[in-house]
Chain A
């Protein structure tokens, strides 16, 4: 019970924040609630990480720590069960950081500040709930809680074709969750219809024949959110229209739900099908990686470039997961963290620049380095992180993935890995093209000459993110250990089954 309460605090804090926001009377009170709440979440996430590492060091070997369950709906054996392993701890920490910095990034948001933060908080509640749950149904429910506010956040506070984008994003993700729900109930009934708990289902196993049906369903269901080719097209439109902090939270955390879910539910529960059907998805993700990068080369909207770059990087996450070995999967989780942080950073900066110039068209922007040096320098750092500069997080993640992918013998895997490697060159092309166009050179638009540099709240959120990106890039060891500990049992589960890949 104590465990349940401890982990559920991640859901309770947003609930209390919702109450506080509802009662808040003016903007300052709203901001106060948000800062207090997100700081509490961040502190709690850090405490959880520290406690988790401490307990692991003290010899706790259970697959999931702090587990607990409360029965919720007896007839379907739905429980509210919680528990965390290394991967979810890392994800919770990431979410807390993004929520914290996202709050500061939308400090000056108008109008309807209060309503905006209400939905924002609801979204973060869904995210935290998803990462602490180990009951499939509870996960699904929190997943839906995280999706719905997106519609309003983009539709109301967005820019450009916001209604279209909001609708498209929501419908596509809902389509994914329809698959997902079928998959989850399929797994439930084929695993004996006695429990929704992931750990128990993993022990029990899912009937082999039906795995071929439920694996693609759940993988595609989560894959839509993880921007799996060809289900990624919500991403450019959605990101382009979303307000700054929503883009941050969405690209930074929500897209990670996809990768996490694929790993935790699709692969972990259905290892045979993962081995046998994995190659189809491996090809799709391989396409994602290169395709996203090439697409980004010719875009002219800052957010589109970043959205396509996200397709490429998130493709790499799924790609690494499907390689099904410990190194690659550790790399996948590292990439989730790294991509989460640096995309959040990117979207924050794009939001700040857009807030000043009122255009995101790179053909209309130039010479910003002289006008807003702080934002520009941060933009360059974000760009360098994106193209994998050593010392920043991208390098660590990509190298782990590539080394891990190379561990798999077979021409099929090697070829795909080499193809994926080409993305690092293409990434350099579009990042440098972008930086050269908008930051360097001389400013040609006279309206931009008098723009101001970042304000304190913007600086604060950007500096926090850069510190995290650099921290992960300089000292990856502890994070990698934290993650490796969560990945190992899942890989063991996968390794129990022989490989029947037709390409082997």
Chain B
């Protein structure tokens, strides 16, 4: 399957081409180059998937294929390889990334029309896609880290695309630095892993592991911190809500398919190590996930910026995937990885897949709405269903999917996650069910706020909202179709913890509970928000002003970070160090120079310059020497 190399090379070439030519080619040409190359990548990915999954299973599992693996940099006994690894999850990710990215490319034609730096935008999109594709096909943890960093940088470039607005600059900086901070832990984890396991590979049967087994959980947890940074887990999530300062299609790409799922993918990739050597440490993953899911859902309930609501819903959904991975248990009967005990693994990947599609749909839909009303605030919207029928329908379907209503895709994947959670511990299971209810609630609050309710006549008088052009609605329709059918894919046949085919069968008690909960939440949201006036919401707001305020301000976490970075790091570390350097270290050398200067001043009087005085001293000296010699 050597052609898979082109999956990476095509976007790279398109990045270089567009980046170097920049404004020397027309905007349309740039868009077409970017989209064509991505189209080709998508076709290649589908073809790869087709060929991979139709190949014969060996011992009941799909074999790993490594078409390329070259040593990129030798590092003593270790070596840093670059290559392509195809296994069920990487192939699945190829499909997700290329599909969503292609949709974003097409969509951007309409959304970014007439923007300055259109060519640059497509160049960055290509780079971003390439990094993410490289990340998922990585043959070893170091290659993953390399592309991981590239993802970070390209997201920095994309979030800061509107580089003249201060908010975008701050957001891009924040995204990069927060994820970089987490990456440091990832790096240390990799170093520990490499040192004890004598390899950077993912293969978990190497001999070196025995010696390093005790350090392995530490390494894995450190790597998880890196993943938590990229996947915006609490408390490293603060960059994600701000990341919407970039163009909306970029948010779709970041939130749905690429950057945030990198952390989940990393855990999934290292899953065999976790389950074998660090099953206890997985508790950390579970609880970080649970806290994040709940926190993000709570905040999402009160935000008024539609992209921000979606951002928090992403955090919450990614946390679902994390929890699902965490709740896997080692198998009971000999086999360490057992499909049933590790149901969460499959559920997590399934949810990743379905979530990517409907979240991209939601963001792109939000993009259409913002495009129509030129604002992110819900107050500028309301009653848009008349003006934008396609967006309305697709958005509704996505909301139903994320809320977990059958037969939309989100229902199936979320149900698997809840089943896995219930199996692990009823406490986690019920909390997650509660979070799922909150999800349904805030999504429908959003939906009603945008498409129903009172129309903002004042604003719409100047500028009547209109349906987006075909370039923008086409991706919506495609993604809607995927959302409609994705739930029926026999996902367990392709991806499962042990690799053997696994039949998804709904646990009807869990499913029924979650449906009931979702429907009740939707009904509640309808009751509160669907009307043209919202007495209940206002009453609630008045009853608990402080709670609302705290949630609206995201529990002041950003302020805490701001305080820590600016007040503590800048004021109490950097400034004193700089002062110390200028005044103490440098002061010492300046003191030496000053001392020399002063000393020479003090003794220069002896050099009077008077010849006769010199001659007298000279003569005196001779006499003294003669005397000494005589005596």
Say if the two chains contact directly (CB < 8 Å).
yes
Q: Which residues of A contact B (CB under 8 A)?
A: 167-168, 171-172, 229-230, 232-234, 291, 294-295, 297-299, 325-327, 367, 369-370, 384, 387-391, 395-396, 399-400, 402-404, 406-407, 417-418, 421-422, 424-425, 428-429, 432-433, 436, 439-442, 476-477, 480-481, 484
CA A325 – CA B78 in complex, angstroms?
13
Q: Once the chains bind, are B177 and A428 in contact (CB under 8 Å)?
A: yes
How far, in whole Å, are A30 and B228 apart by their CA atoms in the complex?
A: 58
> Is B210 an interface residue, CB under 8 A from the partner?
no
Q: Which 5 residue pairs of A and B lie closest in terms of their CB atoms, listed nearest first? A: A327-B76, A233-B586, A440-B163, A297-B574, A390-B146
| Contact, CB under 8 Å: A436 / B169 | yes
Told that A294-B578, A406-B194 touch, could you supply 17 new A-B pairs with CB distance under 8 A? A168-B589, A171-B593, A230-B585, A291-B577, A327-B76, A399-B73, A402-B187, A403-B78, A403-B191, A406-B195, A407-B195, A417-B191, A421-B187, A422-B184, A424-B187, A428-B176, A436-B170
Knowing A403-B75, A403-B194, the reply to whether A424 touches B163 (Cβ < 8 A) is no
CB distance from A478 to the nearest CB of B (A): 11
B40 within 8 A of A: no
CB atoms of A389 and B574 under 8 A apart: no
Q: For residue B466, which residues in chain A have a CB less than 8 angstroms away from its CB?
A: none
Q: Distance (Å) between the CB of B179 and the closest chain A CB?
A: 9
Interface hits, B59-77 → A, CB 8 Å: 71-77
- In this assembly, does B500 line the interface, its C-beta being within 8 Å of a C-beta of chain A? no
A–B complex contacts, Cβ < 8 Å, 25 sampled: A171-B593, A229-B585, A230-B585, A232-B585, A294-B573, A298-B575, A326-B76, A327-B76, A389-B153, A400-B73, A403-B76, A404-B75, A406-B191, A406-B192, A407-B195, A417-B191, A422-B184, A425-B177, A425-B181, A440-B164, A441-B164, A476-B72, A477-B71, A481-B74, A484-B74
CB-defined interface of B577-595 with A at 8 Å, one 1/0 digit per residue?
A: 1100100011011000100
What residues of chain A lie closer than 8 Å to B153, measured between beta carbons?
384, 389
Chain B 146-183 per-residue mask, 1 if CB under 8 angstroms from chain A, else 0? 11011001001000100110100110110011001101
Of listed B150, B184, B575, residue having the most chain A CB within 10 A = B184
CB distance from B298 to the nearest CB of A (A): 30
User: Are the C-beta atoms of B589 and A172 separated by less than 8 Å?
Assistant: yes
B184 lies within 8 A of A424 (CB)? yes
A interface, by DSSP: helix, strand, loop or mixed?
A: helix
Could you tell me if B146 and A295 are in contact, using CB atoms closer than 8 angstroms?
Answer: no
Query: Which residue of A is nearest B142, CB measured?
Result: A399
Nearest-Cβ distance from residue B580 to partner chain A, whole angstroms: 9
Question: Is the Cβ of B74 less than 8 Å from the Cβ of A480?
Answer: yes
Contact of A440 among B160, B191, B593 (CB under 8 A): B160
The residues of A that contact B80 with a CB separation of less than 8 Å are 399
Point out the residues of chain A lying under 8 angstroms from B163, CB to CB: 369, 439-441
Q: Which residue of A lies closest to B78 (CB)?
A: A403
- Determine how close the nearest CB of chain A comes to the CB of B249; give it in whole angstroms: 21
Contact in complex: A389, B195 (CB < 8 Å): no
Q: A424-B187, A441-B163, A442-B164 are in contact. Are A480 and B73 (CB under 8 A)?
A: yes
How long is the Cα–Cα vector from A484 to B79 in the complex, in angstroms? 14
Give the distance to chain A from B276, nearest Cβ to Cβ, in Å. 23
Q: How far is the CB of A490 from chain B (nearest CB, A)?
A: 15
Cα separation A54 to B180 with both chains bound (whole Å): 41
Given A168-B589, A406-B191, A440-B169, A390 and B176 contact (CB-CB distance below 8 Å): no
Q: Name the residue on B nearest A428 (C-beta).
A: B180
* B563 close to chain A: CB less than 8 A: no
Given contacts A390-B150, A399-B142, A440-B160, contact A295 B76 (CB under 8 A): no
CB proximity of A300 to chain B, nearest CB, Å: 10
Closest-CB distance, B15 to chain A (whole angstroms): 11
Name the residue among B73, B166, B575 with the largest chain A CB count within 10 angstroms.
B73
Enumerate chain B residues within 8 angstroms of A418, measured Cβ to Cβ: 188
The answer for the CA separation of A503 and B450 in the assembled complex, in Å, is: 65
**Residues of B close to A168: CB separation below 8 A:** 589, 593
Q: Is the CB of B146 within 8 A of A294?
A: no
- Which residues of chain B come closer than 8 Å to A442, judged between CB atoms? 164
In the assembled complex, which residues on chain B have CB atoms less than 8 Å from the CB atom of A232? 585
Contact between A421 and B575, CB atoms less than 8 A apart: no
Whether B570 sits at the interface, judged by CB under 8 Å, is: yes
> For residues 102 through 127 of chain B, which have their beta carbon under 8 Å from a beta carbon of chain A?
none
Q: Tell me the bound Cα distance from A44 to B160 in angstroms.
A: 44
Residues of A within 8 A of B150 (CB): 389-391
